[in-house]
């Protein structure tokens, strides 16, 4: 959890640098897509070699970074469309709750290595699809 926390703290800074250097939300969305591929690729390798090693810490750091950056992106996006903060936070909490419900639903029946692989694939596809939706569907 400590590594995840450092990732959450530093992830916004790292993606902020991407935003400043490469200009805007589209660059951040592309970096987030790459980040998700790296995260789930690392977790997939950890699962395949059955060993808790450096890749697990690496993935944990970047999961924290991805989590904080996605919440920042959602906050900025929703704040752009809602002028009242009550609506903003209500919608943001609905998005968070729905995301957790999907994750729990998908993870509830994992019993084999193949189920774990399928879970990683589904979550990777959902994360990449959400970033593509943010990149092409909205203006920040």
pLDDT number for residue 51: 67
Q: Which domain holds residue 87?
A: 2-137
Question: Does residue 136 or residue 94 have the better pLDDT?
Answer: 94
pLDDT number for residue 8: 82
Does the structure show a pLDDT above 60 at 140?
no
Q: Render the burial of 61-95: b for 16+ CB within 10 Å, e for the rest.
A: bbbbbbebbbbbbbeebbeeeeeeeeebeeebeeb
User: Per the structure, how many domains does the chain have?
Assistant: 1
Q: What is the mean pLDDT of the chain?
A: 76
Question: What is the reported pTM?
Answer: 0.65
- The model's pLDDT over 58-68, given as tens digits with 9 standing for 90+, comes to 888 888 887 77
Contact between 107 and 119 under an 8 Å Cβ cutoff? The reply is: yes
- The model's pLDDT over 100-128, given as tens digits with 9 standing for 90+, comes to 787 788 777 778 878 878 887 887 888 77
pLDDT number for residue 18: 77
Does the structure show a pLDDT above 70 at 14?
yes
Tell me the two tokens of residue 45: 């390798």
């Amino acid at each position: 959890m400590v590594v995840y926390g450092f990732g959450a703290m530093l992830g916004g800074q790292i993606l902020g640098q991407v935003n400043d250097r490469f200009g805007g939300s589209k660059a951040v969305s592309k970096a987030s897509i790459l980040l998700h591929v790296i995260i789930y690729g690392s977790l997939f390798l950890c699962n395949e070699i059955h060993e808790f090693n450096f890749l697990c810490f690496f993935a944990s750091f970047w999961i924290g970074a991805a989590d904080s950056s996605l919440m920042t992106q959602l906050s900025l996006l929703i704040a752009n469309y809602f002028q009242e903060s009550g609506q903003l936070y209500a919608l943001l909490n609905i998005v968070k709750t729905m995301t957790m419900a999907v994750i729990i639903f998908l993870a509830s029946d994992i019993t084999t290595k193949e189920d774990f692989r399928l879970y990683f694939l589904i979550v990777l596809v959902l994360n990449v699809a959400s970033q593509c939706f943010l990149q092409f569907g909205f203006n920040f």
